[in-house]
Structure 1
Amino acid sequence: MIDLKGKSALITGSSKGIGLAIARALHQAGCHVLLNGRTEAPLKQACDSLGAERCSYVVGDVSDPAEAQRIADAARALFGSLDILVCNVGSGASVPPGQETAAEWQRVFATNLWSTTNMVESCRDLITRQTGSILCISSICGNETIPGAPVTYSTAKAALNAFVKGIARPLGKDGIRINAIAPGNILFDGSVWQRKLDENEEAVDQMLQKDVALARLGTPEEIANLTLWLTSDQATFATGQIWTLDGGQTRR
């Protein structure tokens, strides 16, 4: 049983899906969680679902450096210091391969890379030395070529993986760990896989049988369980790594 009593965590993009599942897992382990998103109503609803005790939220867009700093300042005012930072903001929605534009490259990188680099930079002096941990949500699209995946998204996630590996040594000098999880196909309400199931459940099942060893979609809770371990004292020798959790889809 992982015990995070007395710990503090900031989870970006945590009003639903994977981010909310991570917040719930950390909260259930005793952590005081600070949720973040761009819209107040779903954040309040998410916080209420966890329970008012040890749950707060801050509205803001982490892809904007000034907003990221304001969010970090809110965490400082609430906690004094930060034990865990989870960078979950991201989206695979983009144009089909071969239809990229300069504006689309910028938008997708802002969502999937700057959202993380901004928060790491803003929170670096806030994260507890020697025991602090950062966890980033990447994607298997950043690990290898996934047929049909947007090139913009795959490139941004590959860059995120490179950032995690590259920044691990500078952060390690302060005893701060950083890792990433690269999920495969995760199903939750409002997810791309929910939409695909609604459109053509047979096609999704055929893809799973062909490409995924476990022949099923993953759940946000499974991502949250690995996050809980990686950000706890049970994983104190783990840093600078990309942890793939995809049911055996990727081959590398």
Structure 2
Amino acid sequence: MDLNLNNKKVLVTGGSRGIGKGIARVFLEEGANVGVVARGQKGLDEVKQEFKNIRTYQADLTEENERIKCMNEFINDFSNIDVLINNSGGSNGGDVLETHISTFKEAMEYNYYSAVHFSKLAAQHMLKQQSGSIINITSITGRESGGKVTYNNAKSALISFTKAFANEAIRYGIRVNSVAPGAIIHLSGAWQKRLDENPEKINQYIQTNIPAGRFGIVQEVADVVVFLASEKANWVVGATLNVDGGQSRSNF
């Protein structure tokens, strides 16, 4: 299927490894012009070496001024933005009673506020062309219990923001959606580490919790994201699509 993404300008946050890197790869395969943002320069250097025609931007997206600087650099390089993928995020803390309130704030800054602010920055440019696609990478644990509470809270907020902003932005031709992965395995991820440390326990987890009987892979998330960003998904607005092999228990 031709997704008509050739020469589209795409920015992927958290794009130096894992799901973000996989998303960047598929956009490049579709002929898009891609930039990726990450905090660590080493990872960005490795991405640049692997994908010769990609742009990289080093920024700490928990900092407001760095988000502004990064978006300005992308626009200077590409002149406009067609697609934004808010993929930056991470898990921290533990049980509620054991987790300091500052950790909750850090989780919101990293997983939620950075995506909200980046969405607003991108939308300002998308307004000029009356088109664009913003996709937030959330999580099935943002829709139900499971995982660390700080992460779940932030992802739940991002799912809510996705719907709210989608209803506002679509009148300007800007589509906002989210993709909620389940347990996805990749070399730099937590599931691979857990599998290496205790394969018996993790394989039992898979059989108990994932109806498909295996972990998902990055490609399976990236394929959905790229489809959502394309004109083939023009009537998908404000949706959060689970990509989880049946893992989630929600029926919506």
1:105 Cα offset (Å): 0.6
Q: Is the 8 A contact 1:63 1:118 kept in 2?
A: no
Partner of 2:177: 179
**Secondary structure at the residue paired with 1:125?**
helix
1:94 Cα offset (Å): 2.5
Per-residue CA deviations over 1:195-238 (Å, capped at 9, x if unaligned) read 11011111111111111110110111111000110001110111
The structure where helix makes up a greater share of residues is 2
1:98 Cα offset (Å): 3.2
**Secondary structure at the residue paired with 2:11?**
strand
User: Aligned AA for 1:132?
Assistant: G
Pick aligned residue for 1:229 from 215, 227, 230: 227
Instruction: State the alpha-carbon separation in 2 of the partners of residues 106 and 26 from structure 1.
Output: 32
Identity %: 30
Per-residue CA deviations over 1:91-133 (Å, capped at 9, x if unaligned) read 1232234322111111111111012012112222122644310
**Secondary structure at the residue paired with 2:55?**
strand
Partner of 2:143: 143
- Answering whether residue 63 of structure 2 is matched by residue 80 of structure 1, we say no
User: Aligned AA for 2:123?
Assistant: R
1:213-224 to structure 2, matched below 5 A, reads 213-224=211-222
Comparing 232-241 and 98-107, the one that deviates more? 98-107
Instruction: State the alpha-carbon separation in 2 of the partners of residues 210 and 235 from structure 1.
Output: 33
Instruction: State the alpha-carbon separation in 2 of the partners of residues 16 and 66 from structure 1.
Output: 24
Which 5+ residue runs of structure 1 have no aligned equivalent?
none
Partner of 1:57: 56
Instruction: State the alpha-carbon separation in 2 of the partners of residues 144 and 95 from structure 1.
Output: 17
- Answering whether residue 208 of structure 2 is matched by residue 210 of structure 1, we say yes
Q: Is the 8 A contact 1:12 1:87 kept in 2?
A: yes
CA-atom RMSD, angstroms?
1.2
Per-residue CA deviations over 1:31-55 (Å, capped at 9, x if unaligned) read 01011101222112112212x23x1
Comparing 231-240 and 59-68, the one that deviates more? 59-68
Comparing 129-138 and 234-243, the one that deviates more? 129-138
- Answering whether residue 27 of structure 2 is matched by residue 26 of structure 1, we say yes
Partner of 1:170: 168
1:17 Cα offset (Å): 0.3
**Secondary structure at the residue paired with 2:167?**
helix
1:86-125 to structure 2, matched below 5 A, reads 86-125=85-124
Q: Is the 8 A contact 2:131 2:172 kept in 1?
A: no
1:60-71 to structure 2, matched below 5 A, reads 60-71=59-70
Partner of 1:11: 12
Q: Is the 8 A contact 1:62 1:118 kept in 2?
A: no
1:25-44 to structure 2, matched below 5 A, reads 25-44=26-45
1:58 Cα offset (Å): 0.9
Per-residue CA deviations over 1:131-171 (Å, capped at 9, x if unaligned) read 3101110011101112xx21111111100100001111111
Number of equivalences = 248
Please list every run of at least 4 consecutive aligned residues from structure 1 whose deviation after the TM superposition is greater than 2 angstroms: 127-131
Instruction: State the alpha-carbon separation in 1 of the partners of residues 165 and 4 from structure 2.
Output: 27
- Answering whether residue 247 of structure 2 is matched by residue 246 of structure 1, we say no
User: Aligned AA for 1:145?
Assistant: S
**Secondary structure at the residue paired with 1:126?**
helix
